[in-house]
Structure 1
Amino acid sequence: MDLGIEGRIALISGSDSGMGKETARLLLEAGVRVALTDKPGGTMDEAVAELAPLGEVIAVTGDVTRPGEVKALWQEVRERLGEPDIYINAAGVTGAQGDFLEVGDDGWQETLDINLMGAVRMCREAIPAMRRKGWGRVVLFASEDAVQPYVEELPYCASKAAILSLAKGLSKAYGGDNVLVNTVSPAFIATPMTDAMMEKRAKEKGLSFDEAIETFLDEERPGMVLKRRGKAEEVAAAVAFLVSERASFINGAGLRVDSGSVFTIAG
């Protein structure tokens, strides 16, 4: 299917691995010029080397919690590729975990600063040029946790609920300028982050890695009726659709990629 975005420019945060990198792959295959960004010290060089045969891709490092670095990375992308038409916010962390009464302010602030305020800072840079051009696509990564919170992950859940609200508000503010803002909400996708979660679970419970996944699905995610972790490319396909011309009448929507994990029809 032709996505109708050949020649567009995309910036993807949190894209040195996992869902962000797989989204970059699909966009490159669609003829989009892509800038990857993530914190220094990751696997950006490896990601660029892997993706470069597919099209024009660059890497720019920066920390979304630092306003100065956010401005600098956007400026570098503008100088090297041009003004992005597409922004995809995949940067995020699990953040502080544990009993609510034992998680301090620092844990909450760090989680919110990356997951929520990182998106806020990046969208401030993305949207003005999109409005001027009369065409823009923004996709923010939320999570099943946004509408189905888990008691050991409340800072993360709250940050992702805020992402849903942010995206809805932005969609109302700028949809009239043909800047469409939507979210995707994955659940338990095979990424380095969930690998680490399952390795920790396996060690704590004396299980193999595969057994850790199986028991986690049974005990913690009974709504995931496909009984497996999702694939990063399955989420990427949803994102690629939302930023395409095929989704030109979708604005302020949330697309779940969660194997049915969320039980409610609302939210």
Structure 2
Amino acid sequence: MKIDLSGTTAIVTGSTGGIGLAIARGLAGAGASVVVNGRTQAKADATAAAIVKAIPGAKVRGVGADVSTAGGCASLVKAVPDADILINNAGIFEPKSFFDIPDEDWGRFFEVNVMSGVRLSRAYMPGMLKRNWGRIVFISSESAINVPTEMIHYGMTKTAQLAISRGLAEMTKGTAVTVNSVLPGPTMSEGVEAFVKDLARQNGQSVDEAASQFVKQHRGTSLIQRFATVDEIANMVVYVSSREAAVTNGAALRAEGGILQTIA
């Protein structure tokens, strides 16, 4: 199967690093005109240039906008009025005891992880419906189902994404627009790598030892028994963004290495 997204415009929020960057690279490699998004224009431009250098002929541009705010989402929409593919990837996480999470953190996590996708889907989905083709993908997490006790506020936002995604999918009935979620498991993005390195320093371990121990202790049901790579997650996202994924709609697609012990 050859995925060809030429002629489409794709926006990937929070794509100057980690899973978002891998998704942007994957979509660009499949021929989409990709909009890389980060909080600053300089970082977005630098990332776009790096993708073009790695993929000669790729069509990539950067748009600096902080999508954790209503104003930032509006700036992104102003810069890119229409999109065929929207990847709601921007997100934050932080291990913290439930009893130490203040109200402000609950609000901050909800604004970044949930409202960014709500606002941008509200802006771009009408155009997709009018053109009768489009893809919206929310990058959720296995934590949406296995809510981690060390990050309950994060898990809450990931569960909310599943509800929003499924609700929006119901609005696409009879059209060629799809809305889905992808649920990564532990993935070795830059942010997670920094977290694992910190664990390694605290415990006097190598990074590989700390990563292996984390999976065994906190995600013991993992069938792959390791962190995924960002490209492994991006592969699933590129597929569900494609024309070939026409009958995948309203789904929560698992890319978590078998952590979730369910058959559906």
TM-score higher than 0.5: yes
Q: Which residue of 2 aligns with 1:6?
A: 6
Q: Which residue of 2 aligns with 1:16?
A: 16
The amino acid across from 2:238 in the alignment is A
**SS state of the match for residue 60, structure 1?**
strand
Percent identity between the two aligned chains:
32
The amino acid across from 1:37 in the alignment is N
Q: Which residue of 1 aligns with 2:34?
A: 34
Is 1:197 aligned to 2:195, yes or no? yes
The amino acid across from 1:103 in the alignment is I
Q: Which residue of 2 aligns with 1:116?
A: 114
**Residues 206 and 232 from structure 1, CA distance in 2 versus in 1: closer, same or farther, beyond 3 angstroms?**
same
> In the alignment, is the contact (CA less than 8 A) between 2:4 and 2:31 conserved in 1?
no
What is the CA-CA distance between 1:98 and the residue it aligns to? 2.2
Q: CA–CA distance in 2 between the matches of 1:211 and 1:45?
A: 36
Q: Deviations over 1:119-176 (max 9, x none)?
A: 1111111111111111110000000000001111000000000000000000001243
**SS state of the match for residue 174, structure 2?**
helix
Q: Which residue of 2 aligns with 1:220?
A: 218
What aligned pairs does 1:38-57 form with structure 2 within 5 A after superposition?
Answer: 38-40=38-40, 43-52=43-52, 53-57=56-60
Q: CA–CA distance in 2 between the matches of 1:34 and 1:164?
A: 24
TM-score of the pair, normalised by structure 1: 0.93
RMSD: 1.5
> In the alignment, is the contact (CA less than 8 A) between 2:41 and 2:62 conserved in 1?
no
> In the alignment, is the contact (CA less than 8 A) between 1:94 and 1:156 conserved in 2?
yes
The amino acid across from 2:124 in the alignment is A
Is 1:89 aligned to 2:92, yes or no? no
Q: CA–CA distance in 2 between the matches of 1:117 and 1:212?
A: 33
Q: CA–CA distance in 2 between the matches of 1:92 and 1:116?
A: 8
What aligned pairs does 1:1-267 form with structure 2 within 5 A after superposition?
Answer: 1-40=1-40, 43-52=43-52, 53-78=56-81, 83-95=82-94, 97-266=95-264
**SS state of the match for residue 221, structure 2?**
coil
Q: CA–CA distance in 2 between the matches of 1:55 and 1:247?
A: 22
Moved more, 120-129 or 204-213: 204-213
What is the CA-CA distance between 1:41 and the residue it aligns to? 7.5
**Residues 242 and 220 from structure 1, CA distance in 2 versus in 1: closer, same or farther, beyond 3 angstroms?**
same
> In the alignment, is the contact (CA less than 8 A) between 1:13 and 1:89 conserved in 2?
yes
**Residues 196 and 175 from structure 1, CA distance in 2 versus in 1: closer, same or farther, beyond 3 angstroms?**
farther
Q: Deviations over 1:65-90 (max 9, x none)?
A: 22122112122123xxxx21000011
> In the alignment, is the contact (CA less than 8 A) between 2:179 and 2:249 conserved in 1?
yes
Q: CA–CA distance in 1 between the matches of 2:57 and 2:162?
A: 32
Q: Deviations over 1:193-217 (max 9, x none)?
A: 2112102212222222121111111
Unmatched runs of 5 consecutive residues or more in structure 2: none
TM-score of the pair, normalised by structure 2: 0.94
The amino acid across from 1:77 in the alignment is V
